[in-house]
Amino acid sequence: MREGLYWLGKKQLILPLFILLCVVMFILPFYSADGYSIIRHTTSQLGAQLTPNAWVMNLMFMAMGLACILEGWLHLKGFWFHKVVISVFGIGLMMTAVFHHAPIDEGLAFNVREDMLHSVFATIVGFSFTLFSVSTAFIVTKNKERAVSVLVAFMATGLSLLMAFIPQYSGVWQRLIFIISFTWLVVFFKSVIIK
């Protein structure tokens, strides 16, 4: 078992899952609910209640959340605060796979409580990611890494605000959040593994 953990500690879990996530984000819409739009609709709506093939998106949320938790605990060594925050992020992401968004078809009956819990956990995901990216500025050693960590937090927050103020492009804004955030996490954890 120790050899397995050593091997796992030298590998990156997020990168292959992130590549798969990108494929799912852009291909699954063609196999989802009628009327689903990559531009207007979010990835949460791909995993929504009563939505065809929603299990695929929800499986990705679950896998990405678990990978983030494992990466944090394997590679962040003595940085307990960061381990807890990335764990909150990962658990929140996994819980968005347990509690599903309302379907895009407003005529369908759905579980309102489940939709509300999905929103709560999605909000936790956003706040915990922002806190994690800002807090890494205090543990990285290069000024460029610090600046990128803070910039990523601002970009994720700004794009989240765009989802609220220009919702007709929510699918674009959220996909950009995922691409920017997970690209940064891939690079960040790679640098931690190398050190």
* Structural domains in the chain (count): 1
Domain contains 189: yes
- Expressed as residue numbers, the domain containing 126 is 14-194
pLDDT score at 7: 47
Domain contains 6: no
Domain contains 1: no
Domain contains 2: no
Domain contains 7: no
Burial class of residue 179 (count of CB atoms within 10 Å of its CB; 0-12, 13-18, 19+): middle
Domain contains 8: no
50-73 as b/e: b if 16+ CB within 10 A:
ebebbeebbebbbbbbbbbbbbbe
Domain contains 4: no
Domain contains 9: no
Residues in the chain with pLDDT values less than 50: 2, 4-7
pLDDT score at 5: 47
pLDDT score at 12: 84
HEC per residue, the chain: CHHHHHHHHCCCCHHHHHHHHHHHHHHHHHHCCCCCCCCCCCHHHHCCCCCCCHHHHHHHHHHHHHHHHHHHHHHCCCCHHHHHHHHHHHHHHHHHHHCCCCCCCCCCCCCHHHHHHHHHHHHHHHHHHHHHHHHHCCCCCCHHHHHHHHHHHHHHHHHHHHHHHCHHHHHHHHHHHHHHHHHHHHHHHHHHHHC
pLDDT score at 83: 97
Provide the CA 140 distance to its chain's centre, in angstroms. Answer: 22
